[in-house]
Amino acid sequence: MSSKKIKDKERDSIDFGKSRIGPLFTRIFYPTLLSMVFASLFTVADGIFVGQGVGSNALAAINIVAPLFLITTGLALMFGVGVSVVASIHLAQNNHKAANINITQAFDVATLLMLVIAIEESRDRYMIHQHKV
């Protein structure tokens, strides 16, 4: 590996164990903040295009579904971040089997939870459709 690549790797790496909290916080905070701002801008742009292109009913439908999307995204992030911490601890202890078991269990539970949510939503839609007819 060339010395330039080593310097670039050292510059881009973050040592969570030895870095000071202040610079570490700012180094992680600003990219996270920018990603959230851009995600919000995309949501606003989507709302403008749907509202202007398709109409108010489509915009209302998106706004009704948005909280469900945010809840499922939050649950997925909760499982993903939680299992990554536990798995990284096991991997640091060179316990690959426990890390694999934890990742598999988190994936299975998250998948099962999303299936329950999807089945419940489709059941609710069916019940609403039955009352309209």
Q: State residue 132's pLDDT score.
A: 62
Q: By mean pLDDT, which of 44-48, 64-68, 81-85, 124-128 is the weakest?
A: 124-128
**What pTM did the predictor assign?**
0.56
Q: Kindly state the average pLDDT of the residues 15-36.
A: 83
pLDDT class of 102 with cuts at 50, 70, 90 = very high
Distance CA 80, CA 67 (A): 20
Kindly indicate the confidence band of residue 62, based on its pLDDT and cuts at 50, 70 and 90: confident
pLDDT at 66: 81
What gap in Å lies between CA 122 and CA 111, rounded to an integer? Answer: 16
User: Which amino acid, residue 104?
Assistant: T
Give the model's pLDDT for residue 121: 80
Question: What distance lies between CA 55 and its chain's CA centroid?
Answer: 29
